[in-house]
Amino acid sequence: MLGLELAYWQQALIKVGAVMTVIPLGALILGYVFLLKMMSHMQSRLGPMEAGPHGTLQLLADAGKFLQKEDIFPARSDRTVFALAPVVVMVSTFLLYLVIPAGPRLIVEDLDTGVFFALAVGSLSVIGVLMAGWASASKYSLLGALRAAGQLIAYELPLVLAVVGVVVQAGTLSLQGIVHAQADGEMFGFGGIGNPYVITQFVGFLLFMVASQAELTQTPFDMPVAESELVAGYMTEYTGFRFLFFFMAEFGSAFALSAIAATLFLGGWYLPGVNGDLADYLGPLVLGGKIMFVAFLIFWFRFTYPRFREDQLQTFAWKYLIPLSLMNIVATGILKVVF
Amino acid sequence: MTTTAPASEWQQAAYIAGQAADGRVNIEIETEGMSLNIGPQHPATHGTLRIVVRLDGEQVVWAEPVCGYMHRGYEKLLEVRTYPQVNTLVNRIDWMSSFANEVPFILAAEQLMGVEAPERAQWIRTIFFEMSRIANLTLFLGDMGVQLGALTPVFYAFRDREHVLNLIESATGGRFHPNYDRVGGLKEDLPKGWVDECKGVMRRVRDFCDQMEDLLVGNEIFQTRTRGIGVITPAVALSYGLSGANLRASGVDWDLRRDEDSPLAWKHTEFKVWTHPDGDSFARYWVRLQEVRESASIIDQLLDGIPAGPIMAKVPRIIKVPAGEAWCHTENPLGEMGYYVISQGGLGPFRCKVRTASFNNISILPWLLRGVYVPDVITILASLYFILGDIDR
Amino acid sequence: MSSTPEDPTTAEPAAPEAATEGQPTVEAAPEPAPEPEPVDEVREAMVSSLREVLGADVVSHHIADGDVIVRVAPTAWRQAGQVAHDLLHMDYFCFLSGIDWMPAPAMGGKAVWDPAGVDGAEDTVEEGVAAEAENGTWVTGAAGGDTRFQVFARLYSTTRHIGITLKADLDEGSPAVATWTDLYRGADWHERETWEMFGFQFDGHPGLRHMYLPTEFEGHPLRKDFPMLAREVKPWPGLVDKEPMPGEGDEAETEEAVSS
C-alpha cells in the first residue's frame, strides 16, 4: 500500500494491530460522544466533566477501574464457560472489522464474500450471550439470555434480507465492490454524487437500522438487558474486566454495524470528487463521519423510546419486518431487471 | 435417605439425553416453574419490596409480595410520642409527599381539641398539600418511563421537581421533610416573594406535563406496553380498598377533596376530578398526569386569594388533646391516607392507627399479577405507584 | 367524632345575680330549654338499619361530629360487615385493625403520657385511667367497650360519601372473630397485620401469617404489654443530655480530672 514490500507475516501483524487499535478506539469514541455526552445533553444534564477536558478521558478512567477489580466467579457458575463467554462476544466483534473498507486500498481483507462473511460472523455473538446467561447460574441472567437468544436470532433475518437488496443492486457481495458500485453509479443519469443506496434502497436502510438496533440490544429492543427488570440481564454477574469485554463488544459492534450500514447505504469511504491516493487518506475520515451519523441515529432512538415487550418484539420482527424485507428484495429484483 | 451413590454427571447427562430422545416423555414432563424474587434490591420496586413470583416461562403463575423490609413500627412509636413529635415522625411515612402525611393527623388532633386553625393557615396548608402532590406525581410521571425503558423523561421530571422542592424548602426549611404543620396552624408564615415564585414554578410544572404528554403518552411503544395491562375492575378495586388515582383510573368517581367537608381550602377552588374508564396501566398514568395539571391549577387559584391573618391559633404551649376518638382522612397523592387517633387526655395519642394508601394498593398484587408476563409485572408495579414507607410504615 | 359531652348550641342566659350566696334562692325565670342537639339523621338511620337486622347484637353506638361508631357483639362481626356492605352500600374497604385498651405500663417509673416533671405541665392524666387499670377494667373510648381488646374496621360508601366504624369486643384470653376476607378482599392483608400485631385470630382466614415481621418473631408488638425497648432503656421523656460547648462550661472539672 505504501510502496513497501512486506512479507505476509508482517502484513498480518499490521492488520491485527490495526484491528486491535480501531476497535477500542471506535468503542471509546462512540461511547464518549453518544453515551456520555449526547445522552446527557438530551437529558438536560452535563455528563462527566472531571476526567480530562469535558470528561473526554472518562472512559479510559472507567477502563482502568474495571481492570483493577476483583475477578469474581459466582459460586455455582460454570467457570470455563463463564470466562469464555465475553471472549466469544468480543471475537465476533473483532471479526466484523476484517471486511470493512476504509479506503480504496485500506481494507484488512478484501473478501469476495465480504457481506456474507460479516453477517455470518456477526451472529456468533448469540452463542456468547447464551453462554454468559447460562454460566452465571442466576435466574435473572438466564431469563436475559433466553430473551436475547430469541431476539437476536429473530432479527438476524431482517438484517440479512435488507442487505440482499443492496447486494442485488450492486451485483457483488464484496464490500469494497459495493462501495465502488455506489461511487461509480449514477442516479437517473446524474453521476455527480454517485448512487448511494440509501435513496434507492430506502426501505432496506430502514430495515437495516431497525434490525441493527435489535442486534445491538439497544432500546427499544433491549429486553435482554432490561435494566429496570433484570438488573443487567445476561451481564448481571459479570464484573471487572469481563464486564469491560461486554461493554467494549457492545460499542465495538455498534461501531462495526454503523460502519457496515455506512458502507452499504451511504457509500462508505467515497466522497464525490475525491479519487486516487487522496481517497486513501480521506477515506477513513469520510467513513468516520458517516459512521457518526448512523450511530447518532441508533443512540438517539435508544434514549427516546421505551422498550418493547418480548412478544411484541417478536411479532414485530416476524410479522412485519420479514415480509417487508422480502417484498423489498422482490421489488429490487424487478427494478434491477427492468432498468 | 438413599444409600446408593449419586449418579455421576455423565450418567445424569446420558439419562437426560435418553429421555429427550423419547419424544413422548418430553411433552408430558411437568416442569415446576421457576421461582423468582423480584426484590428486595431491585431497580423497579420503589424501595425494598420483595415480590416472590412463580414463573412458567415468562408468565407469572403465582405472585406474593413480601413486605416488612422497611417496617419501622410506626403505630407503636406513635404511642410514645407527644403530638408535635408525632408530626415529625409522620412526615416519613410517605416521604415523597411529606407534608401531605402531616395534615390528616393534625386535623384529627385539632378536631379532638376543638381548635380551628385560622383561615390563612388552612389556605397555605392546602397549597403545600397540593405542592407535595405535584412533587410526588411528577416523579411518578418520569419514573414510569424508566420502568418501561425510556431513560430520558425521568431527568426532566427531576429537573422540574427541583423547583417545587426549592419552594417547599424556602418556606419550611426542608425539601423532603418539611415538618411544617402544627396543631392549630403552621410553624411560620411564608417568606416574602414566595407567592410570585410559586406562580412561576406552576408554569414550569404545566410545561413539564405537556412535555410528558408529548414524550410518553403519545408514544406508540408506551401505549403498546401499557394499554390493556393490569386491568382492575371497579368492584374489585373497591373491595381491596384501592384509592386515589388507581381507583379513579378504574372509573370510580371519588375524590376526598371534593366529596368530604374538610377544613382545608379546597372548597374555595374549582377543580376537575379525572377518571378513566379503562382501569389499565395507561389509565393510571393518564389520570395522574391530569391530576398534576389540576394541582397546578388549584395552587394558582389559591395563591391569588390567601387571606391575611394569623398563621397559628391560640393553643397552649404543651399540647394536650382531650379524650376522644377521631378519624381524619385526606386525598393524598398515593391515595386515601387517614389516621384514627384515640386520645385519653395525655400528651400523646393512646393509639393511632395509620391507614396508608399503598398498603391496600399493593394487596391487590396477588390477584392482579396472575397470568401476566414478567415485563408487564414491572409495568403494573410502576403504574400502581407505591412508596415503601407507605406500605411498611 | 369526639366523645366529649357536647355543649348546648345556645348559651344559657345568665341566672339572676340574686340567686347566689346563701340567700334563699329566688325562683328565677324558667330558663329556656337548651336547643336540642342536631340529630344526624342519616347516621341515625344507618344505626337503625343495623339494629333491624342484627337486633341485640348492636351493643352500642356513638354519633358525633360527622361520624358514626357502632359496637357489635363479636359473634355478629361478620354479619355486621355483610349488612354494612349490602344495606348501607359500604362498598369501599378502608382498614381493619385492633385496639388494646390497657394503659401502657409505667416505663421507667412514669406512665408514658404522664407529663409530671415536664416544664409547664399542669395536671396529669385522668385519675380514672390509673385507678381502673388497677382494678382491671379499662377506660375504653367511643361506643364503649367491655374488654381489653377490640377489633375495629372502617368502611366507606363511595356513592353516599359516608363512612362507618365498626367495633367488636374480643375475649382477652383468646381473642377471635370471623374473617371478612370473602366479603372485602382487602381485609386479607389487614387481618394478617392485626393478627401479627395483636394476636387476634380470624376464623376462616385463608392463611394468617406474618405481614411485616420475620417468621420466627415471637410476641405481638402492638399489645401494650409488649415492651418498647427504646423506652426501657431511656424512659420518657428521655434524659436531657446537654453538653457544654467546648471551651466553656465545666473547666474546673476537666482541670480536676487532669490533675487527679
* B148-168 per-position pLDDT tens digit: 888 888 899 999 899 999 999
Report yes or no: C181 and C204 within 8 Å, Cβ to Cβ: yes
Whole-number pLDDT of residue B106: 94
Interface test with chain B among A228, A300, A314, by most B beta carbons within 10 Å: A228
Across A273-298, average pLDDT: 84
- Between CA C117 and CA C111 the distance in angstroms is 12
CB–CB contact C158 B336 (8 Å): no
Backbone angles phi, psi at C156, to 5 degrees: -145, 150
CB–CB contact B327 C66 (8 Å): no
The chains in contact with chain A, meaning 3 or more Cβ pairs closer than 8 Å, are B
How many residues appear in chain C?
260
- Contact: chain B with chain A (3+ CB pairs below 8 Å): yes
Q: pLDDT-derived band of residue B333, with 50, 70 and 90 as boundaries?
A: very high
- Contact: chain A with chain C (3+ CB pairs below 8 Å): no
The string of pLDDT tens digits covering residues A101-152 is: 888 877 887 888 888 999 899 888 889 988 888 888 877 778 778 878 888 8
Share of chain A above pLDDT 70, in %: 94
Give the other-Cβ count within 10 Å of C180's Cβ: 28
Question: Among residues A179, A173, A28, which one has the least CA distance to residue A101?
Answer: A179
CA distance B249 to chain C (A): 15
CA distance A171 to chain B (A): 38
CB–CB contact B80 C165 (8 Å): no
Across B130-158, average pLDDT: 90
Whole-number pLDDT of residue C22: 44
Share of chain B above pLDDT 70, in %: 90
Least confident of A29-43, B265-279, B318-332, C36-50: C36-50
pTM of the predicted protein model: 0.81
Whole-number pLDDT of residue C114: 45
C51 pLDDT above the threshold of 90: no
CB-nearest partner of A231 from B43, B215, B375: B43
Q: pLDDT-derived band of residue C9, with 50, 70 and 90 as boundaries?
A: very low
Share of chain A above pLDDT 90, in %: 10
C-alpha cell at C54: 342484627
Across A171-179, average pLDDT: 87
Q: pLDDT-derived band of residue C231, with 50, 70 and 90 as boundaries?
A: low
The string of pLDDT tens digits covering residues C218-227 is: 888 888 878 7
A259 pLDDT above the threshold of 80: yes
Q: Average per-residue pLDDT in chain B?
A: 86
Across B70-76, average pLDDT: 90
Across C246-251, average pLDDT: 62
Across B295-306, average pLDDT: 92
C-alpha cell at C206: 385463608
Q: Position B25: which residue type?
A: V
B125 pLDDT above the threshold of 90: yes
CB–CB contact C186 B348 (8 Å): no
CA distance C194 to chain B (A): 11
CB–CB contact A310 B150 (8 Å): no
Helical axes C41-54 vs C77-86, angle rounded to 10°: 130
C15 pLDDT above the threshold of 50: no
- Between CA C205 and CA C187 the distance in angstroms is 9
Share of chain B above pLDDT 90, in %: 46
B2 pLDDT above the threshold of 50: no
CB–CB contact B344 C113 (8 Å): yes
C39 pLDDT above the threshold of 70: no
Report yes or no: A120 and A169 within 8 Å, Cβ to Cβ: no
C106 pLDDT above the threshold of 80: no
Q: pLDDT-derived band of residue B1, with 50, 70 and 90 as boundaries?
A: very low
Of A35-49, B86-100, B342-356, give the range with the top mean pLDDT: B86-100
Whole-number pLDDT of residue B43: 65
CB–CB contact B374 A143 (8 Å): yes
Q: pLDDT-derived band of residue C234, with 50, 70 and 90 as boundaries?
A: low
List of chain A residues whose C-beta atoms are within 8 Å of the C-beta of residue B156: 43-44
Answer whether A94 touches B (CB < 8 Å). no
Enumerate residues 6+ apart whose C-beta is below 8 A from A275. none
Answer whether B215 touches A (CB < 8 Å). yes
Q: What ipTM was estimated for this complex?
A: 0.86
